[in-house]
Amino acid sequence: MKAHASHSLDATFLALADPTRRAILARLARGDASVTELAAPFAISQPAISKHLKVLERAGLITVGQDAQRRPRRLEGKPLGEASAWLERYRASWEASFERLDAVLEALQGKPSVPTRTRSRTRRVRGDT
Amino acid sequence: MPVTIEKAQVTLPSDREVKVTRSFKAARPLVYRAFTEPTLVQRWLLGPPGWSMPVCEMDVRVGGRYRWRWRSNKDGRQFGFTGTFREVAAPARLVHTETYDPGTVGDAHPESESIVTVTFTENSGITTVTTLIDFGSKEARDAAVATGMTDGMEQSYQLLDALLRERV
């Protein structure tokens, strides 16, 4: 089960590694589209697009719709969600460290005001005498 | 005027890399210090919850070495990172190698060297730190993202085990 999950992640990231495939996913995020419609904005052949679609399909990122004639491709959100959850855990650990760093920087910035206060007090003392 | 600091962002610029971006409400030289002075680094680079950083040695000059080690407060297990500084351009840029040291954690993390490039840019008192980690391979990157610095250590090891099992 776990091995299957990580295999899906690999397939997802492999699929996302290509800019044409990311563009196809972006297009499908706006709605289902046929192969011809998907190929239209790209300067590459329809067989080349079909190859990209197969990679996306194998990764479970897209499915083929019911219409036998048009065979519209549809975006599947679950694998993308799993991939982003995986990254989110990594991001959260960095954020935890960075929030501690915020506190460290705040403390460091608080420091210069200490000698300033000391100096003004010294002046006052000197003025008194 | 209140300044909103966005939380850390993680992107995957290529198959082998991870990029982490975060802004801080502090001038660049100060942020640079917090990344390069061991006593300061030890106060924030603490790793997963329940871990402390007993070892933080950094000789920040070109060719200088560093050694970081984290220790589990619960059972005393340790792991760390070591490496060499390749570029030191205070307060703008820092490049160092990074090798995982499995310590007594005993996991089979891929033994590969990463190249870490940290850049510091300042705009109106806000310093943005970009950490680009080139893991050298997709396998090493995926394993690193799945382990080490993540929040749920045990959960991560299970993920890593699964990743490694799959490649045997």
What are the pLDDT digits (tens) for B131-155? 999 999 887 787 777 654 333 333 3
Interface A-B, measured as beta-carbon pairs within 8 A, has a size of: 99
CA atoms within 13 A on the CB side of B12: 25
Residues whose CB is less than 8 angstroms from the CB of residue B117 and which lie 6 or more positions away in sequence, other chains included: B93, B94, B95, B131, B132, B134
The single-letter code of the amino acid at A117 is R
A48-58 pLDDT per residue, tens: 999 999 999 99
CATH architecture, domain defined by A2-78: Orthogonal Bundle (1.10)
The single-letter code of the amino acid at A3 is A
Residues whose CB is less than 8 angstroms from the CB of residue B74 and which lie 6 or more positions away in sequence, other chains included: B50
pLDDT level of residue B3 (50, 70, 90 thresholds): low
Which residue has 């198959």 as its token pair? B15
- What is the mean predicted confidence (pLDDT) over B24-42? 93
Structural domain boundaries of chain A? 2-78, 80-128
Nearest Cα residue in chain A from B13: A17
Query: How many other CB atoms are found less than 10 A from the CB of residue B117?
Result: 17
Chain-centroid distance, C-alpha B65 = 15
A67-81, A94-108, B80-94, B98-112: segment of lowest average pLDDT: B98-112
Supply the ipTM of this predicted assembly: 0.78
pTM of this prediction exceeds 0.80: no
How close is the nearest chain B Cα to the Cα of A98, in Å?
Answer: 7
Mean pLDDT of all residues in chain B? 82
A113, two tokens: 């005001």
Q: Is the pLDDT of residue A8 over 90?
A: no
Nearest Cα residue in chain B from A4: B162
pLDDT at position B151, please? 36
pLDDT level of residue B157 (50, 70, 90 thresholds): very low
Q: Quick one: how many helices (H) and strands (E) in chain A?
A: 6, 2
Distance separating alpha carbons of residues B102 and B80, to the nearest angstrom: 7
Per CB-CB distance under 8 Å, the chain A contacts of B43 are: 100, 104
Phi, psi of A94 (to 5 degrees): -65, -45
Is B40's CB within 8 Å of A89's CB? no
Per CB-CB distance under 8 Å, the chain B contacts of A8 are: none
A22-48 pLDDT per residue, tens: 888 878 877 889 998 898 888 888 899
For each of the domains in chain B, give its residue range(s) and CATH number, in order of start: 11-138 (3.30.530.20)
Mean pLDDT of all residues in chain A? 76
Residues whose CB is less than 8 angstroms from the CB of residue A31 and which lie 6 or more positions away in sequence, other chains included: none
Residue count of chain B, please give it.
Answer: 168
A109-123 pLDDT per residue, tens: 985 544 434 344 444
Nearest Cα residue in chain A from B163: A6
pLDDT at position B128, please? 94
